[in-house]
Every structure is written in C-alpha cells, then in structure tokens.
Amino acid sequence: MMGAGFAKVGDIMNERIRQALFALQDPGYKSFQCALMPTVDPSTVIGVRTPALRAMAKQLKADKEISPFLSSLPHKYYEENNLHAFLIESIADFDGCITALNRFLPFVDNWATCDMMRPKVLKKEPDRLLREIEVWIASEYTYTVRFGIGMLMAHFLDDGFDENYPKMVSMIQSEEYYVNMMIAWYFATALAKQWDGVICYLKEEQLPLWVHNKTIQKATESLRIPKERKQYLRSLRRR
C-alpha cells in the first residue's frame, strides 16, 4: 500500500511539474535548442529557458514530495532532465549527491544536460571525487564518460593538478563524437592552465588524430593561450 501511495504522489508531482514546464514554453527557443542538439528528438523538447528552469528547481528543492520525481526515470522531456540535473546540484551532502548522480547519469542523453550539471558539493571531497571520476570515465554510457571528463576538467586543472590526470583522459578509447569532443576540450583547457604538463600529448602524438587536431583547433581559439603558443600549436597539426 505504501508503494502504491508513493506512486500516486509521484504521478501527481510529475504531472504538476510537467504542466508548469509547458506553461513556460517558448516555441522560438525550442527551435533554437533543437538545432544545437541533433541527438535529441524534437518532440521531447518543450522549449523552456534555463533561468526559468533554475528558478523552478530552487522552488522545488525544499518540496517534501519531490523524491518521486527524482525516482521517475527515465523522464520524457528534455526539460525534465535538466530540472533533475539542477535539483541534484542543490544537494548539499556529498554522498547524497553521488548517489543521485549515479542514479541519473545513465539516463542523460545529450551534451547540454550533461555539461550544465555542476554540483558544487563535489569539490569538498576531492579524493573521493577522483575515485568516482575513475568509475565514470570507464562507463559504457556516453554521457557518464563525458561527465567524468568534465569533472576532471572543472576540479583538477588548477592547484590539484597531477600529470596522471591527463594520462587518464588520454587512455579513454571511444568512437562517440561527444566523448571525443570532451577529450579535446579537456586538453585544450589543460594547455591554457597546465601547458608544461600536457603539451607532450601533442608533441608525441599520443591522442587519436581527430582528437589531436580538434584539441589544437579549440586551443587556438582560446583567449587564454598566448599568440606565440598558438603558432607553435598550429605547427603540430597532423594529416
């Protein structure tokens, strides 16, 4: 009976959230979003702007009946996934956040939802976060791998940098475009922050051809890399 009651509460909450999302629909913004996300079925995109989603998440995080929504996976709509991501960001407990992430990540199906999810609590436990990252980047799920690389880029390219971290990323073998793009983004960012520690990956051609050249492209577009280094990077392009 408790299970049935929980499901009923969940259905009510899910319908309430869905109605609120459609009330915020912007058809023009939907078209804009769909053009940026070719892997997402347009029929699953409502068209709600991110600030409105964040505001909704802020209101819902204190709702005692939000748990059924977080358990209702997979969600039908892109915005429901983003709302879920923002609710995870609001979790103040490291263990609770990791549990919620590991439940949700296998259902993430696009780069935008993946990249906008940046829980602040994760930076409080860097050693434990590293262990989770090692698991994520070994996952069978495209966007779990991408999220893991993103976390390594966000939290371990400054004071916590270690040369073993780019090595971890360089060893990822994938045919997935959105994984390889994140690897290139990681190395381009690392070139801006830790040049001496990562330039060897280009000089010694340790990255796959596409990732190698995409890294150089993104690095030469960066405002954080000096002009003379950009010239050198262009000389390392491969054919």
Per residue in 96-123, pLDDT (tens digit) is 999 999 999 999 999 999 999 999 999 9
What's at 220, amino acid-wise?
Answer: T
Average pLDDT of the chain? 94
Q: Is the pLDDT of residue 47 over 70?
A: yes
Q: What is the pTM of this model?
A: 0.93
Buried b vs exposed e over 194-232: b needs ≥16 C-beta within 10 Å? beebbbebbeeebbbeebbbbbbebbbeeeebeeebeee
Write the CA distances from 75 to 85, 92, 109, integer angstroms: 12, 23, 11
Q: Is the peptide bond before 51 cis (omega within 30 degrees of 0)?
A: no
Tokens 């966000």 correspond to what residue? 154
CA 59 to chain centre: 23
- Cα separation of 175 and 180, whole Å? 7
Q: What does the angle CA 232 – CA 235 – CA 239 come to, to the nearest 5 degrees? A: 150
* Per-residue model confidence as pLDDT tens digits over 200-220: 999 999 999 999 999 999 999
Average pLDDT over residues 27-44: 96
Q: Is the pLDDT of residue 127 over 50?
A: yes
| One-character DSSP codes across 89-104 | HT---HHHHHHHHHHH
pLDDT band at 137 (very low <50, low <70, confident <90, very high): very high
Average pLDDT over residues 181-202: 98
Q: Are 132 and 139 in contact (CB under 8 A)?
A: no
Residue 10's pLDDT is 63
Average pLDDT over residues 69-93: 95
